[in-house]
Amino acid sequence: MKKIIIVLLLITNIAVFAQTNEPSETPERLVKDFFEAFHAQDTVKLKSFSVEGVKLESVSIDAEGNTKLTSDDYSKFIKSIASIPSEATFEEKLHEFRVERNGLLATVTTPYSFYFNGNLSHCGVNSFQLVNFQGEWKIVYLIDTRTKKDCD
């Protein structure tokens, strides 16, 4: 009986230890949390995921077929999320996560399709550049592509 109790205690401790090491401090977890806050229009959380001065850019093709790079302020992005009317629905469906991690630096890319009021608006790929500050991952650069073509 004593051995059974010891084994149960060991299993319980392993389970508790595994829960405390939940991947909440991983690059993938940060990006998942970012999109949960994005869909909830939680601007306070969205701000908390990035460093001051985070760079935000988008790449697209203009009407003449030229590559266009647009830079924006992260605070402007946050305000635009907050200004989406409550009756509107939007969802950025992420198709996969590709994570490259090297010490304090990580890149997370997520192909996506964006829907507004149930209709496909555009698709592309997000690329998050993250840096680990004292055990906490933060977004330092975010770039995405946007297209209306080949959004399968």
pTM of the model: 0.81
pLDDT of residue 138: 96
Inter-residue contact 109 to 96 (CB < 8 Å): no
Please tell me the predicted confidence (pLDDT) of residue 52: 94
Q: CB within 8 A of 93, min separation 6: which ones?
A: 112, 113, 114, 115
pLDDT band at 1, cuts 50/70/90? very low
Question: 28-76 pLDDT, tens per residue?
Answer: 999 999 999 999 999 999 999 999 999 999 999 999 999 999 999 999 9
Residues 35, 92 contacting (CB under 8 angstroms): yes
| CA 138 – CA 85 distance, rounded (Å) | 28
Domain spans in the chain, listed from the N-terminal domain onward = 24-145
- Tell me if 130 sits within 8 A of 137, measured CB to CB: yes
Please give the class, per CATH, of domain 24-145: alpha beta
